[in-house]
Structure 1
């Protein structure tokens, strides 16, 4: 597979360079020079074409969310994973609403950062499991009863089953076990789902499904 190009955006030089050095040990990751601020991040994104940005929310006098907005506006295909000193629900909700597909606390291991980067590059998403429910509830803010969201009519029964499993919080291996499918088949169904729902990550698919009335544990 094509190596994943990663750009770390963080003004904490010691932390950023240590993370970059660790991620460079991963054979499938190509880590670009660290960007200490939004201006450098945008310049490197334009010239180096990263697949994934790993973005801190505190960039000196800059707000990382504003950098996220500019990246998403100018380079909508770049996937953004926030790596922050905070894991507060408010910060996570704001980042996801503005286009981030993943959110990690800086206390997490480099191994998890690498795994989330890989997932983001493959149109996946990741949030801390202990706050996932709270974040989704905040994102929904009233749900389908208010905005009338509906799922596309073209979803197959199997795709709906896979989507329900996602809403239930299952990962790909767990979905495969529940439905008696191979991991590759689940991957194919997931890719088809994202395309039909016109979303870019599993997190967005779950949010849309819950706005349309799906809930954890429901089988109808």
Structure 2
């Protein structure tokens, strides 16, 4: 069995954070670490507790969640950050993704969905609200074509890894990729992890953005 996922909640709304922590603690595969209410505490706990996933609010009193996000990504690039926010503006979501977030959830979403997204993030997946996903991708692609380095990275992939990446660009989930390619879900997960490592990406969204900027289009 896989070891439990260590989760750090960073939120200055004590009642909300404590209620979320109590609910997530009921999930047998999640370990909820002490809650951080500010930037300094969050960075200290990230260094000492080594969470796999950080669940982060974008507003921490007078401080910015983006500061936590950027500093965690700089100091601990292996950690996965999922934003859990009352905000829903596309600009804020795009900015968070550019800073390295692999997921964005509204605070109105169910704890069940939060738990599922945490699991996805820990296993190199991610999640964005379906109603804004297309617009977020469009904004991420506005910077123009990926420099030649992107094409060189894609050339490092095996033919099967390129097939899996093409399926990701086509918007398929893991089960759908397995069905299209005649593979098991575990094999798809292995190929996904391998291609992310080769591309030096930390989420499927990052890989899809790089692939599309390098010229890969949905089929």
For the aligned pair, the TM-score class normalised by the smaller chain equals: over 0.9
SS of the residue corresponding to residue 53 of structure 1 reads strand
- 1:75 Cα deviation (Å)? 1.9
SS of the residue corresponding to residue 130 of structure 2 reads coil
SS of the residue corresponding to residue 140 of structure 1 reads helix
Alignment of structure 1 residues 1-220 onto 2, 5 Å:
1-144=2-145, 147-148=147-148, 149-150=150-151, 151-216=153-218, 218=219
When the two chains are superposed, the root-mean-square deviation of aligned CA atoms in Å is: 1.3
CA distance in 2, matches of 1:75, 1:160: 28
My pick for the range that moved more, 184-193 or 20-29, is: 184-193
Q: Per-residue CA shift, 1:72-126, capped at 9, x if unaligned? A: 2222221111001012110111001111111111111111111111111111111
SS of the residue corresponding to residue 141 of structure 1 reads helix
My pick for the range that moved more, 134-143 or 11-20, is: 134-143
My pick for the range that moved more, 196-205 or 25-34, is: 196-205
CA distance in 2, matches of 1:22, 1:89: 28
SS of the residue corresponding to residue 101 of structure 2 reads coil
SS of the residue corresponding to residue 26 of structure 1 reads coil
CA distance in 1, matches of 2:87, 2:100: 18
Contact kept, 8 Å, 1:143 with 1:212, in 2: the verdict is no
Q: How many residue pairs were aligned?
A: 216
TM-score by length of 2: 0.94
SS of the residue corresponding to residue 78 of structure 2 reads coil
CA distance in 1, matches of 2:124, 2:182: 23
- 1:154 Cα deviation (Å)? 2.8
SS of the residue corresponding to residue 104 of structure 1 reads strand
Contact kept, 8 Å, 2:82 with 2:104, in 1: the verdict is yes
TM-score by length of 1: 0.94
CA distance in 2, matches of 1:121, 1:31: 14
Which blocks of at least 5 consecutive residues in structure 2 are unaligned? none
